[in-house]
Amino acid sequence: MKSSKLDRFLCLFTDVHAGEGTTALLMFANVFFILCAYYFIKPLREGWIAVSDISGLTKMEVKAYSSFGQSLLFIPVVWFYGRLSERWRRSDLITRSTIFCISNLAVFWVIQPGLFIENLPYTGIIFYLWVGMFGVFMVAQFWAYAADLYTKERGHRLFPLIAIGATAGAASGSWITSVLVDSGLFGTEWLLIVAMIPLTASITLSKISDRRKPDQIARTEAAPEPEFEDSGRSAISIVFASRFLIAVAVITLLLSWVNTNGENLLFRVVQEFLTGDALKEGITQSDTLLMFTRDGTTAFYGDFYFWVNIFALLLQAFVASRLLKFGGFGVILLAMPVVALISYTAMAFVPILAIVKAMKIVENSTDYSINNTARNVLWLPVSAEMKYKGKPTIDSLCVRIGDGIAALTVLIGVQLLALSTQSFFILNVALVLIWIAFAFVVIREHRRLSEIRGSSG
C-alpha cells in the first residue's frame, strides 16, 4: 500500500506506515476532545473547592481531605465499572459512560455557587470528587481501547502521535478557559455547559474509530480480538496476580502521592496570595469575597494549566516519540522520576513561589507528555483482560490512594508535626528515590513480557 499525503505529513511526529494515518488521526481527535473538556472543568474544580469552607480546616486541608475521600469512593466505583466492562461491548461502554458524564455536568451546572443557588453546602467537595473520577476514567478508558486496538509494534510508533492529541486538547482547553474568564465573554459558571460540546464529539469519533478498526490493521499483522475473553476474575485479583502489575500499581501510587503533595502546597500559596490581594483591595463582604476567591482561583489555574500544557505539547510533539524510539521503554519510563527528583530538590533548597511554580510546570508538563506516553506503552505486551480491567483499576484506584496518602501527609505534617514547606519537599525527594527503584522492576518485567509475547507471536 502506498503512503497517503496524510501518512507522510504525520511522519513529522513519528513513524507512520501506509494506511495508518486516518485511524490514528481519529484517535488523536478523540483524546483531544476528551482532554479539552476536562480542562474546561478542572480549573472550575479548584475555584469551587476554594469556596467550600469547613470550620476548623484550612483551604489546603479541605482540598487534601477531599482527595482522600476520592480514594475511598473509588473502591466501589472500580468494582462497579469492572462489572459493566464484563456486560457491555466496548463501544457501548465508552458511549454510555460519556453520556453519563454529560448528564452529570448538567446537574452540577444547576447547583454551582452564584448561579441559581448562592452556595449549597458541600457541593464543591462533591464536585471535586466527581471531577477526579471523570478525569481518570474517561482517559483510562480511552487508552485501554487504544492499547487493545494496536499491536505492540504499532503502539510504540503511534501512541506518541495520539498522545499529542491529549496534550493539545489539554492546552487548548486551558487556553480557552483562560480567554473566556479573562475577557469576560463567559462567566466561570458556563464552563460546564461548554465542556459538553467536545464530550459529545468524542462519542461520535469513538463510533467511527470502532467501525474502521478492521480496515486499519495492516495485512501483515493479525488484528486483536474485538472483545476480550473474560476469565471471571475481579480487577483487583488480576492486579495482585502479576508482579508486573503490582510494580506498575506502586509507581502509579508514588507518582500520585508526590505530585499531589506538590499540588497541595501550590494551592495553599495561591489561597494565601488571594487573601492578601483581597485585603489590599478592601474586599471584606462575604458574598463578594466568595466570588473573588472562586474566580481568582479559577483564573490562576486556567493560566497555570495553559503553560503546563503548552510545554507538554512541545515535549509530546518533538521529544516523546524520539525518546522512545532511540532510548527505549526504560528511558522514557525513568524520565519522569528523574525530572521530579531534580524539581523537588530545587524546591527544597529554594522554597519560594517563583521556583515552586516553575518547577511544578516542568514536573506536570513532563508527566502529561513523556510520562503519559510511557504509562500507555507499558500496557502493550499484556492481555486484553489486563488492559480493560487492570488498567482502569490501577489508573483510578492507585491514583486516588496516592491522593489519600497525600491527604494523610497533610494531616500529620500540618496538625501533628507542623512541618515547614521545605520539609514537605524533602519528603517528596525521598519518595521519588523509592519510585525510581520500583521503575526498574517495571522495566525488567516489561522486557520479560515483551519477549514472551514475541516468542508466542
CATH number at residue 212: 1.20.1250.20
In sequence order, what are the beta bridge partners of 113? 117
The answer to whether residue 6 sits within a structural domain is no
Taking phi over 0 as left and psi of -120 to 50 as alpha, with beta for the rest, 221 belongs to beta
Q: What is the pLDDT of residue 221?
A: 40
Q: Residue 40: helix, strand or coil by DSSP?
A: helix
The answer to whether residue 111 sits within a structural domain is yes
The answer to whether 90 and 145 are in contact (CB under 8 A) is yes
Q: What is the pLDDT of residue 40?
A: 83
pTM over 0.75, yes/no: no
Q: What is the pLDDT of residue 114?
A: 62
What is the distance between the alpha carbons of residues 65 and 339, in angstroms, rounded to a whole number? Answer: 27
The answer to whether 130 and 104 are in contact (CB under 8 A) is yes
The answer to whether 375 and 124 are in contact (CB under 8 A) is no
Chain-centroid distance, C-alpha 56: 31
Environment class of residue 47 by beta-carbon count within 10 Å: exposed (0-12), middle (13-18) or buried (19+)?
A: buried
Contacts of 440 (CB under 8 A, 6+ apart): none
The answer to whether residue 11 sits within a structural domain is no
Range of 372's domain? 18-456
Q: How many domains would you assign to the chain?
A: 1
Q: What is the pLDDT of residue 219?
A: 36
Q: Which three cell numbers stand for residue 66?
A: 477531599
Environment class of residue 53 by beta-carbon count within 10 Å: exposed (0-12), middle (13-18) or buried (19+)?
A: middle
Q: What is the pLDDT of residue 327?
A: 84
* pLDDT one digit per residue (tens) for the chain, 457 residues: 577 777 777 776 777 777 777 888 888 888 899 988 888 888 777 777 766 666 666 666 776 777 667 667 766 776 676 666 667 776 677 788 888 888 888 888 887 766 656 666 667 788 887 887 787 777 777 877 777 777 667 777 787 788 788 878 887 887 787 777 666 666 667 788 888 888 888 888 888 877 765 334 443 343 444 455 555 666 677 777 788 888 889 999 999 899 888 888 887 777 777 877 888 888 877 777 777 777 777 777 777 877 887 888 788 778 877 888 788 888 999 999 999 999 899 888 887 777 878 889 999 999 888 888 888 788 777 776 776 677 777 877 787 788 778 888 888 887 788 787 788 889 999 999 999 999 999 999 888 888 776 655 4
The answer to whether residue 294 sits within a structural domain is yes
Q: What is the pLDDT of residue 85?
A: 64
The answer to whether residue 9 sits within a structural domain is no
The answer to whether 364 and 259 are in contact (CB under 8 A) is yes
What is the distance between the alpha carbons of residues 293 and 257, in angstroms, rounded to a whole number? Answer: 26
275: Cα within 13 Å, side-chain hemisphere: 10
The answer to whether residue 1 sits within a structural domain is no
Q: Which three cell numbers stand for residue 277?
A: 490581594
Sign of CA dihedral 301, 307, 311, 317: positive
Torsion from C-alpha of 60, 266, 410, 134, nearest 10 degrees: 70
59-64: long-range pairs with CB below 8 Å, 24+: 59/267, 59/268, 59/271, 60/264, 60/265, 60/267, 60/268, 60/271, 60/410, 60/414, 61/410, 61/411, 61/414, 62/125, 63/128, 63/264, 63/267, 64/260, 64/264, 64/406, 64/407, 64/409, 64/410, 64/411
